[in-house]
Amino acid sequence: MGSSSLLLWSLLLFLIAFPRVTLVHAFTGTYGINYGRIADNLPPPGSVVTLLKAAKVKNIRIYDAAHEVLTALKGSGIEIIVGLGNEYLRDISVSEDRAMNWVKENVEPFLPGTRIRGIAVGNEILGSTDQELWEVLLPAVKNVYNALDRLHLTKVVEVSSPHSAAVFASSFPPSAGAFKETILPYMKPLLEFFEQINSPFYINIYPFLAYISDPDHIDVKYATFQSNPGIYDSNTKLHYDNMFEAQIDAAYAALEKAGFEKTEVIVSETGWASRGDANEVGATLKNARTYNYNLRKRLLKKKGTPYRPKVVVRAYVFALFNENLKPGPTSERNFGLFKADGSVSYNIGFTGLKPSSAASSLHSLKGTGLRSWFGSSYSLLYTTCSAAVLLILMA
């Protein structure tokens, strides 16, 4: 084999081993935050971006596609899932043109500067009592996906639809996880479509809600990742020392029973309220800090669950701020990690809008510099190799 041929094969092997293929991953980290805005006292989006960067949060979800938020996020590097609200589903479900108009107005103009990585079509639809919305969810999802496809954005923007725990008929023990029979005629076709387009199953998981509904029988330490005896699932012979992982594995069990054992589960919401009404036992600052501190520590380990040990757990915390205009019990307005002034609600390792220490800034600079160097060097090497292959082929 001549030297030119040897070089050609070497370069081709490099290109095959390190392809520049863009796959859609709406959530590339493990720890994200939901940025809800049902409030009249929150900082402007530009300040929120500063806060997120100071806290080193790289993945967020919003519940709409507010242009001021998307504009503020431009160039930040923060990856975002936008929401298509439940109120739009009926119109979107009956018209691909309406779906296209929504995507062209709320997604396409902001790419690529704003890193929109997903569209959540509706929120907790199949766990609601509105059966008309059950019926229009899948058509709406398909129309949004088809609009992205026509705009060649399906490799950039994922389509999903998060669910509440109300979709389950049972979730304890985890191996008994199963969907309600009433929603299966709607859930299965939705999951089949998501399987085709490689979208995960997003579920809102709240040990907080489970605990306040039955504090006499649920150990608060089990609900907040503290040392406790845990539970044993005799069907799988697996031990659980926290409810969060048990609920995720219940979702995996339900998916398996429905025929979707390969679908990944991602937690779209989880959190703990720092205040509540008199009947909301456990809604305290101490429990909120304990849950969110231990959750963050657990997610940063990048590990799986007892039933899916090789699938890294990913979760978006609810929520970034306390939202003073949310209806419902007091707890609904007190899930925030941060106060409206940008300071932390309690200490779980974030600094908020306060200046970082010199050491932290230096560490961040070093990390960013190394990643930037590697990224630019890789691009240069890749481009050089590609050009060399073309020159050899043309020789």
Question: Which is the catalytic residue, given 79, 158, 245, 269?
Answer: 269
pLDDT of residue 190: 98
Question: Which is the catalytic residue, given 124, 158, 245, 323?
Answer: 124
Q: CA 395 to CA 392: how far, in whole Å?
A: 5
**Beta carbons of 171 and 165 less than 8 angstroms apart:** yes
SS3 (DSSP) at 55: coil
pLDDT of residue 374: 33
Which stretches in the chain have pLDDT values below 50? 3-22, 354-395
Q: Of 82, 100, 86, give the one whose Cα is nearest residue 35.
A: 82
269 is catalytic: yes
Q: How many CB atoms lie within 10 A of CB 362?
A: 11
Range list of H helices, the chain: 3-17, 45-54, 67-72, 89-93, 96-106, 131-150, 184-196, 207-213, 220-223, 243-257, 285-299, 358-394
- Give the pair of three-digit tokens for residue 212: 């306040």
SS3 (DSSP) at 71: helix
124 is catalytic: yes
Half-sphere exposure of 278 (CA within 13 A, CB side): 0
**Orientation of helix 131-150 relative to helix 96-106, angle to 10°:** 70
pLDDT of residue 18: 38
Q: Of 151, 187, 148, 196, give the one whose Cα is nearest residue 169.
A: 187
Residues 6+ apart with CB under 8 A from 188: 258, 259
